């Protein structure tokens, strides 16, 4: 069965990343994946987080905050409701884990980098777009630290990107948009490093359990998709 967007099962939506979209942030980009648009900024604090200072820990820290603008979806959601949204908190933690997986905290020094991912328009895959764009913002912020002499070695060890995949109408597909995601029999998100290793996998059998053969095939599809995203990150950051 043809997908709503007329794409082939392994065909991704068009992707673009524009850097330098915020004049104040140390790193910023606007990532667009199909109808999904996310503004990603990286802000540097010249100190460790309080909990590290209290525990006399060495090295820096990378954290993240994710949110959706009130009209990112078809129906407006109040800002008060967004502030209490547990989904936002869960995705924020996911983005933070993804960024920390490829950063050497000792080389980062006594600095805190906060990645803010604000969804301007949602059409599926917002957490994956946030990780892919958030990485670009992070790298740009780290470059500012190096240029200013605050740190002397690059703490970013690898690339990281993310993509969704799942089971829709009994077919395994890559990069689900909203029309597919809302009725998918299985929904998964894959965070993949530059060498093709997996940082995190989130998978749920929405309508019935899935088997190991299905998840293995989706892993292969996700590795291929993330390689394309990482190639774009490389181009943008050259």
pLDDT in tens, 31-68: 999 999 999 999 999 999 999 999 999 999 999 999 99
Count of C-beta atoms within a 10 Å radius of residue 39: 20
In this prediction, residue 206 carries a pLDDT of 79
Residue 123 maps to a domain: yes
Task: Give the C-alpha separation, 182 to 166, whole Å.
Answer: 11
- 24 within domain boundaries: yes
Instruction: Name the phi and psi angles at 115, rounded to 5.
Output: -95, 115
Cβ-based neighbours of 65, under 8 Å, separated by 6 or more? 92, 114, 115, 116, 117
Asked whether the predicted pLDDT for residue 117 surpasses 90, the reply is: yes
Task: Tell me if 9 is assigned to some domain.
Answer: no
Residue pair 61/77 in contact by the 8 Å Cβ criterion? no
- Residue 160 — very low, low, confident or very high, per pLDDT cuts 50/70/90? very high
Residue 2 forms part of a structural domain: no
Confidence (pLDDT) at 191 = 98
The CATH number given to whatever domain includes residue 51 is: 3.30.230.70
Res. 207: pLDDT tops 90: no
Say what percent of the chain tops pLDDT 90: 92
The answer to whether residue 226 sits within a structural domain is yes
Question: b vs e for 112-128, b when ≥16 Cβ sit within 10 Å of the residue's Cβ?
Answer: bbbbbbbbebbbbbbbb
Distance separating alpha carbons of residues 201 and 222, to the nearest angstrom: 10
- C-alpha–C-alpha distance, residues 35 and 114, integer Å: 25
Question: What pLDDT score was predicted for residue 82?
Answer: 77
Q: Count of domains in the chain?
A: 1
Residue 48 lies in a domain: yes
Residue 190 lies in a domain: yes
Task: Examine residue 10 and state whether it is found in any structural domain, yes or no.
Answer: no
Q: Which domain holds residue 107?
A: 15-237
């Amino acid at each position: 069965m043809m997908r709503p967007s007329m794409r082939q099962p392994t065909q991704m939506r068009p992707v673009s990343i524009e850097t330098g979209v915020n004049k104040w942030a140390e790193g910023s980009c606007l990532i667009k994946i199909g109808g999904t648009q996310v503004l990603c900024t990286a802000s540097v604090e010249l100190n460790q987080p309080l909990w590290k200072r209290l525990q006399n820990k060495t090295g820096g820290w990378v954290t993240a905050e994710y949110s959706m603008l009130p009209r990112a979806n078809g129906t407006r959601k109040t800002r008060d409701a967004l502030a209490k949204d547990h989904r936002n908190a869960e995705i924020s933690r996911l983005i933070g884990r993804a960024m920390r997986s490829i950063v050497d905290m000792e080389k980062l020094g006594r600095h805190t980098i906060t990645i803010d991912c604000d969804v301007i328009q949602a059409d599926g895959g917002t957490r994956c777009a946030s990780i892919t764009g958030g990485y670009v913002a992070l790298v740009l912020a780290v470059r500012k630290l190096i240029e200013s002499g605050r740190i002397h070695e690059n703490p970013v060890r690898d690339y990281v990107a993310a993509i969704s995949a799942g089971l829709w109408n009994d077919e395994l597909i890559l990069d689900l948009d909203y029309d597919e995601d809302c009725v998918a029999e299985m929904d998964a998100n894959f965070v993949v490093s530059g060498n093709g290793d997996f940082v995190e996998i989130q998978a749920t059998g929405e309508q019935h359990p899935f088997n190991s053969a299905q998840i293995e095939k989706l892993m292969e599809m996700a590795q291929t998709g993330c390689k394309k995203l990482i190639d774009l990150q490389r181009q943008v950051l050259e």
